[in-house]
């Protein structure tokens, strides 16, 4: 009887492994409580403070939805295109993959800033919310983040965009779909230039930085975000920006690892003194930042 009790106790302890709790949801700091996008009227926290004169005419703002399939379920994804829809078939477009916080209202100043490169409306800029962000349906996962990026590319392709005129810009979490789209080339479009700001190296680096030991990411999360490996397959020009004081994704273990692993000769970097995770444009100066992005795109 005693042996049976011991067996039961030990057995139930092992059964705990069947719980299979994961921490992936902590990677996505999404907010889906809004009922509409407010853009310039948004009163919440913003990803960037920019002067009021970075205006976008209302007729250049196109809010729309597209559909993706995620694990057999159709999800509506919200997106904003800023620019002239008619120019998509003939001019360069920037696809902006935002970070892990809130939704597109939070990143709206980023999109406006990019739409002012050179002059307002010089390039079309497309931004979208990952599933579970803002008004996009579903719950965020690494896979449906890629699906929603691919969906945005499908929309662009349907509007006449080709690979050579697509520049993809990934900020923080957005570096994952950006790098994957260029590295794996498994999306409907293959961008011709890659810009990463404050990128992840991978989930493994995140875990190892926090644990000091060489601990596998699989002990905590299923999400991979293998940017440091994907970037090895990227053969397009690459521009990396990272705040030296980034206290969230260390420039040393994340940013420099990604930059180092890009093996093509055409790459440039900007390690920005004083900048933290979300204020690289501010510390560079908005004009200097804009000029550097413009110069990279047009070079």
Partner 1 sequence: MVLVVGISACGPAKFVEPLKKFENAIAIDVGGPMVTIPDVASMPIPFSSITYGHGWSDKLTLHGSWYTTAAIFGVAQIGAGATYGVWKSKRQKHGISAMLGFNTAFDVYEKNFKFWPQLDAHYYFKYNYKGEQQEDLLTKNGRKRSNLLYVGVGTWYELEGVKAHGEKQQDIVVPMLNIGHDLNWKKWTLKTEVKLIAPFSSNENIVLDYVSLTGDKGSTGVYLGLIRKF
Q: Which residues bind partner 1 (CB under 8 A)?
A: 13-14, 16-23, 26-29, 100, 201-202, 204-222, 228-229, 245-253, 257, 261
Closest to partner 1 by CB, 54 vs 248, is 248
Least Å from the CB of residue 203 to partner 1:
9
Residue number, 143 or 218, with CB nearest to partner 1: 218
Nearer to partner 1, 6 or 288 (CB): 6
Q: DSSP label at 19?
A: G
Q: Closest separation between CB of residue 20 and partner 1, Å?
A: 4
User: At its nearest, how many Å lie between partner 1 and the CB of residue 25?
Assistant: 10
Q: How far is the CB of 218 from partner 1 (least distance, A)?
A: 4
CA distances from 246 to 75, 105, 208, 249, 276 (A): 34, 23, 17, 6, 4
Backbone angles phi, psi at 76, to 5 degrees: -90, 130
Rounded to whole angstroms, the Cα distance separating 239 from 191 reads 13
**Least distance (Å) between residue 253 CB and partner 1:** 7
Give Cα separations from 57 to 86, 112, 115, 176 (angstroms).
Answer: 16, 10, 11, 31
Q: 95 CB contacts (<8 Å, ≥6 apart)?
A: 126, 149, 152, 153, 156, 166, 167, 168, 169, 178, 191
Q: Nearer to partner 1 by C-beta: 193 or 242?
A: 242
The residue among 151 and 255 lying less far from partner 1, judged by its C-beta, is 255
Residues 6+ apart with CB under 8 A from 276: 243, 245, 246, 247, 248
């Amino acid at each position: 009887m005693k042996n049976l009790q011991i067996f039961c106790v030990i057995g139930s302890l092992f059964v705990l492994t069947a719980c299979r709790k994961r921490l992936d949801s902590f990677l996505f700091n999404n907010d889906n409580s809004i009922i509409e996008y407010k853009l310039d009227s948004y009163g919440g926290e913003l990803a960037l403070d920019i002067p009021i004169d970075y205006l976008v005419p209302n007729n250049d703002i196109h809010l729309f939805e597209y559909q993706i399939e995620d694990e057999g379920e159709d999800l509506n994804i919200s997106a904003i295109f800023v620019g002239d829809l008619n120019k998509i078939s003939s001019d360069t477009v920037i696809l902006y993959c935002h970070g892990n916080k809130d939704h597109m209202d939070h990143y709206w100043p980023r999109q406006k800033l990019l739409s002012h490169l050179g002059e307002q409306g010089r390039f079309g800029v497309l931004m979208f919310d990952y599933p579970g962000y803002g008004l996009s349906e579903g719950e965020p996962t690494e896979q449906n983040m890629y699906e929603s990026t691919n969906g945005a590319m499908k929309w662009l392709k349907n509007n006449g965009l080709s690979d050579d005129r697509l520049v993809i810009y990934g900020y923080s979490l957005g570096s994952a779909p950006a790098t994957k789209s260029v590295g794996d080339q498994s999306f409907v479009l293959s961008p011709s230039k890659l810009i990463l700001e404050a990128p992840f190296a991978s989930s493994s680096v995140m875990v190892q930085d926090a644990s000091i030991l060489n601990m596998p990411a699989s002990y905590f999360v299923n999400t991979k975000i293998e940017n440091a490996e994907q970037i090895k397959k990227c053969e397009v020009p690459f521009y990396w920006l990272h705040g030296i004081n980034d206290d969230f994704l260390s420039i040393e273990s994340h940013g420099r690892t990604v930059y180092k692993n890009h093996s093509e000769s055409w790459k440039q970097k900007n390690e920005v003194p004083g900048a933290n995770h979300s204020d690289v444009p501010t510390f560079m100066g908005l004009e200097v930042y804009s000029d550097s992005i413009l110069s990279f795109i047009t070079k």
